[in-house]
Amino acid sequence: MHIYDDEVFQMACDQFKVIADYLEVDPNDRERLMFPKRAIAVTLPVHMDDGSTRTFQGYRVQHHLTLGPTKGGTRFAPSLSMGETAALAMWMSWKCALSNLPYGGAKGGVACDPSKLSRTELENVSRRYMQEMIPFVGPYTDIMGPDMGTNEQVMAWFMDTYSVYQGYSVGEIVTGKPVSIGGTEGRREATGRGVVYLVERAMDMLKLDPEKCTAIVQGFGNVGSVAALSLALKTGVKIVGLSDHTAAIYNAKGIDVKAAEQHVLKKGTLRAFMQDDHVDPNEMLTMKCDILAPCAVDRVITEHNAAKLQCRILAEGANGPTTPGADRILDQRWDEVFVIPDILCNAGGVIVSYFEWVQGLQSFLWTEMEVTDKLFRILEHSFSQVIRRAKEHKISHRTSAMAIGVERVMKAKKTRGLFP
Ligand code: NAD
């Protein structure tokens, strides 16, 4: 038993062990690479609108500090635990290293349901969380960003709280903040855009005509909505499946994603959208399509449905959507399902966050075109490295991507040595 005991952390460790065996990592180095450097748990007492005081649990995990400060999103979700936060931090480490960013991985969040909080309550939770984290984070220590359940506004409250305590504006403490207060053009769209860039590269390799392709996108938040809109409007792919936590829709003739976006802007969710086409959310994942993009929660592709997937490309917009059990099945189906693993597929977010951090530290301004161009160049480099190594070593795309990340962290640890 340890403080990270949790199924998601176990899954991240199981994935790591596959890579450690493949890389023949010295047993003395394995735990040092796998376990987080630091973990912080806080209790947040918060004034609620009805006059009561409620306490929430908050977490922050800093996985390693070998390559620079840690970097990672902040998740507000009811079931968040220390173990899940640690798993997400570990994935961030391999993701940052794969993209060659000077960061270790981190993740944090609060166990709460943001949809059940008023705006004032959400602000109170956000500010109190940042206030409790002040001794442990900083522009050169640990930089926060958005994740599930948080957005630009939450990042603005984080930045404001931190800055008030320092006595001057410290934009570099968070990324994903509004452009009006030092955010980077294109950050909000970066993850979804990156997903689509890589899907286009995969379609190209597989000689698939986008105009004849169909896609199912799970999740219609930051990542899923940008990915679905971009696939439909820019790439010319027909979206046949779309879901959020309230509804899953499938229509072989196609879904008007712009109308879905308008609906969500007005009503908040997809619950009442295209009601005649609602399907079972789990079954939607195994319905016919060329591209399946899970862009919501972890562990949705499992050993129970991996054999049934009918997609040609699995584009993992979410973190940890595929379990190791599913991976074993997908490894057998390597010539049927082209996997774009999460640490590559959704890296667009942290890459543009890195640009935002650099811009903040140096008071630089780049246009959205410059940002997107730099983003695609980094993704292109990672994509070709992952594909090349997978082909040469006859390994899965996930093993290839993670091995590149783990290897970089391992080499840096070896070079720096162990103190004392
Ligand atoms: P978000 O909060 O903006 O949106 C989440 C979406 O998923 C919502 O539409 C929600 O309704 C839906 N959802 C939640 N539970 C669901 C379920 N069980 N089935 C179907 N839909 C469900 O979150 P986001 O920022 O878009 O993040 C989504 C995923 O992408 C997460 O795994 C996150 O860690 C990962 N990610 C996000 C970023 C980023 O920049 N935001 C970067 C990298 C990875």
Using CA positions, which residue lies closest to atom 40 of ligand 1? 349
Q: Note the pLDDT of residue 364.
A: 85
Is the minimum distance from the CB of 400 to ligand 1 under 6 angstroms? Answer: no
Confidence category of residue 75, pLDDT binned at 50, 70, 90: very high
> Mean pLDDT for the chain?
97
Confidence category of residue 1, pLDDT binned at 50, 70, 90: low
Q: Note the pLDDT of residue 171.
A: 96
**What's the gap in Å between 164 CA and the centre of ligand 1?**
30
Atom of ligand 1 nearest to the CA of 88: 34
Q: Determine which one of 71, 95, 107, 238 is catalytic.
A: 107
Atom of ligand 1 nearest to the CA of 298: 32
CA-to-CA dists, residue 416 to 19, 63, 89, 142, 278, angstroms: 22, 17, 21, 20, 55
% of the chain with per-residue pLDDT over 90 = 98
CA angle 132, 135, 136 (to 5 degrees): 95
Query: Could you give phi then psi for residue 248, rounded to 5 degrees?
Result: -125, 130
Using CA positions, which residue lies closest to atom 4 of ligand 1? 221
DSSP states along 262-331: HHHHHHSSSTTSSGGGB--HHHHTTSS-SEEEE-S-SS-B-TTTGGG---SEEE--SSS-B-HHHHHHHH
% of the chain with per-residue pLDDT over 70 = 100
Mean pLDDT for 328-344 is 97
Atom of ligand 1 nearest to the CA of 224: 26
- Please say whether the beta carbons of 304 and 369 come within 8 A: no
Catalytic site residue 107? yes
Is pLDDT of 209 > 80?
yes
Burial class (CB in 10 A: 0-12, 13-18, 19+), 50: exposed
Q: What is the pLDDT of residues 171-206, one digit of tens each?
A: 999 999 999 999 999 999 999 999 999 999 999 999
Is pLDDT of 9 > 70?
yes
Using CA positions, which residue lies closest to atom 42 of ligand 1? 349
Lowest mean pLDDT among 50-54, 118-122, 365-369: 365-369
Q: Which domains does the chain have, with CATH numbers?
A: 7-181 (3.40.50.10860), 190-345 (3.40.50.720)
**What's the gap in Å between 137 CA and the centre of ligand 1?**
24
Please identify which residue in the block is written with the tokens 């004392």.
420
Mean pLDDT for 241-246 is 97
Using CA positions, which residue lies closest to atom 15 of ligand 1? 245
